[in-house]
Amino acid sequence: MKRITNIEDVNKGLEALLLLDPKLRPIAEHAGPLPLRLRAPGFHGLAEIIVSQQVSKTSAAAMFGRLEKLVNPLSAEHILHLGEAPMIEAGLSRAKQSTLTLVAKAIEHDGLNLEALCQIPALEAQENLTSIKGIGPWTAEVFLLFCAGHADIFPAGDVALQHAIGEGLGLSLRPKDKEVRKIAEIWSPYRGIAARLFWSYYAYLKQGRDVIPV
């Protein structure tokens, strides 16, 4: 599986994942249908992920909605033209304002092409993204998963995924980033499907709460 581009890819990927690791079958039964959640691989999509860093989904949606209204269209060019005022009004932290500005400058002045990143190996794309101050592994991985459609990405630093793996696999303690990455190795090349599975399983554990980042 090279890219996840439609819900059929998700369903076929899940079938392959469950053949690869049958112990995930009970988790899949509780998780229900897995979502696609694919977004356009440009500045708008990355901006939404940056806004969602380290805040609740509800808060992120409110802030991003305000930002979309204040910067319309929400593009790298408009962010640089309008400056920090609309980002402050939208409620973004200084760190997120800085990150969005640096991404916009990388696109407008340094030739960063987010769409082109979707066509290169995931590790190389991640290195390009994390070279920008304020973009860490989680942000890069979520972008590559939901905007680029990479099939073999697992954001191991995501707390919801850590909880879901701990519960689903019957671990006594919530596994942290390094342990989760090690656990997820067995699910390659379908780690992007496994991530959707465990987010959906976490939603089941939390009685329907939507925890997928974007």
| Domain-located, residue 103 | yes
Residues 65, 79, single domain; the answer is: yes
Give the pLDDT score at 212: 74
Give the pLDDT score at 172: 85
Residues 63, 113, single domain; the answer is: yes
Q: What are the pLDDT digits (tens) for 24-33?
A: 999 999 999 9
Mean pLDDT in the chain?
94
Task: Report how far residue 178's alpha carbon sits from residue 74's, in angstroms, rounded to the nearest whole number.
Answer: 35
Residue 118 has pLDDT above 90, yes or no: no
Q: What percent of the chain has pLDDT over 70?
A: 98
Residue 55 has pLDDT above 90, yes or no: no
Q: What are the pLDDT digits (tens) for 135-163?
A: 999 999 999 999 999 999 999 999 999 99
Task: Report how far residue 56's alpha carbon sits from residue 51's, in angstroms, rounded to the nearest whole number.
Answer: 10
| Domain-located, residue 164 | yes
Domain that holds residue 23: 7-37+152-205
Among 146, 162, 177, residue at a domain's last position: 146
| Domain-located, residue 212 | no
Give the pLDDT score at 6: 95
Q: How far is CA 79 from CA 8, 92, 114, 120, 159, in A?
A: 36, 13, 16, 27, 30
Residues 20, 50, single domain; the answer is: no
Residues 64, 118, single domain; the answer is: yes
Task: Report how far residue 158's alpha carbon sits from residue 212's, in angstroms, rounded to the nearest whole number.
Answer: 10
CATH number at residue 16: 1.10.1670.40
Give the pLDDT score at 56: 86
pLDDT tier, 1 (very low <50, low <70, confident <90, very high otherwise): low
Residues 30, 102, single domain; the answer is: no
- For the question of whether the overall pTM of this predicted structure is more than 0.85, the answer is yes
Residue 209 has pLDDT above 80, yes or no: no
Q: What are the pLDDT digits (tens) for 60-100?
A: 999 999 999 999 999 999 999 999 999 999 999 999 999 99
Residues 59, 28, single domain; the answer is: no
